[in-house]
Amino acid sequence: GENVEQHPSTLSVQEGDSAVIKCTYSDSASNYFPWYKQELGKGPQLIIDIRSNVGEKKDQRIAVTLNKTAKHFSLHITETQPEDSAVYFCAAFSQGGSEKLVFGKGTKLTVNP
Amino acid sequence: NAGVTQTPKFRVLKTGQSMTLLCAQDMNHEYMYWYRQDPGMGLRLIHYSVGEGTTAKGEVPDGYNVSRLKKQNFLLGLESAAPSQTSVYFCASREDREKVIEQFFGPGTRLTVL
């Protein structure tokens, strides 16, 4: 089955710096890759996603890149703010295949003012 | 719309006790999921349902049962709770449409088994 590895497990940056979180997946049939943000005491919330027919997607300060050949995808947050502090999860999904979302183990991002 | 709601928010059980966690969604979603979240483990799928009256096993189904008698509700049962089931449980739902894969999560239920 699918296996998703996520790095780093913790990341501390200064306000205004960029943050990058990387994930790799094992199943070449996976074709949808969402990123979720989880604030303390809340459920995960989708912040951006990318499909396998696209190499990059941006939404204001957040971007995701996908390298299908290498089976890895990354989340980039620019101009970080204290409210970006949270746990971020990557995931992989095989639409038409297993139809199950497999999550990485999460990255705790801390943005220091 | 309330989205996805979970009941209860917190619960403490003794080993061997049983309980049911309730998930409700008001978005008319076909798919519903139960995950557990443990420190350093991410979210792991317990059971899921692709429509009313259907259920299927996920990655870690042992010790849990589920039922989807109504489209809007997905129940997770623990027949005989064990300390290893101490966790935060999240329910999620999504539409059954090819172009919409986003899963919407509830706020979670924190369960402690003593």
Q: Residues B17-51: pLDDT tens digits?
A: 999 999 999 999 999 999 999 988 889 999 999 99
Check A100 against B58: CB less than 8 A apart.
yes
Question: How far is B27 from B101, CA to CA, in rounded Å?
Answer: 14
Q: At A99, which amino acid appears?
A: E
According to the model, what pLDDT value does residue A65 have? 97
Residue A22: name the closest of A109, A78, A70, A90 by CA. Answer: A90
Classified as helix, coil or strand, B4 is strand
CB B83 within 8 A of CB B103: no
pLDDT tens per residue across span B62-109:
999 999 999 999 999 999 999 999 999 999 999 877 777 889 999 999
CB B17 within 8 A of CB B111: no
Statement: residue A97 has pLDDT above 70: no
According to the model, what pLDDT value does residue A36 have? 97
The conformation of residue A69, written as its DSSP 8-state character, comes to T
Distance from CA of A58 to the nearest CA of B (A): 17
The conformation of residue B103, written as its DSSP 8-state character, comes to P
Check A101 against B103: CB less than 8 A apart.
yes
Question: How far is B39 from A25, CA to CA, in rounded Å?
Answer: 21
**Interchain contact B105–A (C-beta under 8 A):** yes
For B24-61, b/e burial (b = at least 16 CB within 10 A) is bbeeebbbbbbbbbeeeebbbbbbbbeeeeebeebebb
Q: What is the percentage of chain B residues whose pLDDT exceeds 70? A: 99
Instruction: Count Cβ–Cβ pairs < 8 Å, chain A vs chain B.
Output: 51
Confidence label for A89 from pLDDT (cuts 50, 70 and 90): very high
CB A80 within 8 A of CB A13: yes
Report residue A15 CA to chain centroid gap: 20
According to the model, what pLDDT value does residue B112 have? 97
pLDDT tens per residue across span A8-27:
999 999 999 999 999 999 99
**Interchain contact A7–B (C-beta under 8 A):** no
Question: How far is A79 from B86, CA to CA, in rounded Å?
Answer: 38
Distance from CA of B14 to the nearest CA of A (A): 23
CB B51 within 8 A of CB B30: yes
pLDDT tens per residue across span A31-80:
999 999 999 999 999 999 999 888 999 999 999 999 999 999 999 999 99
Instruction: Note the residue count of chain A.
Output: 113
Tokens of B10: 């917190």
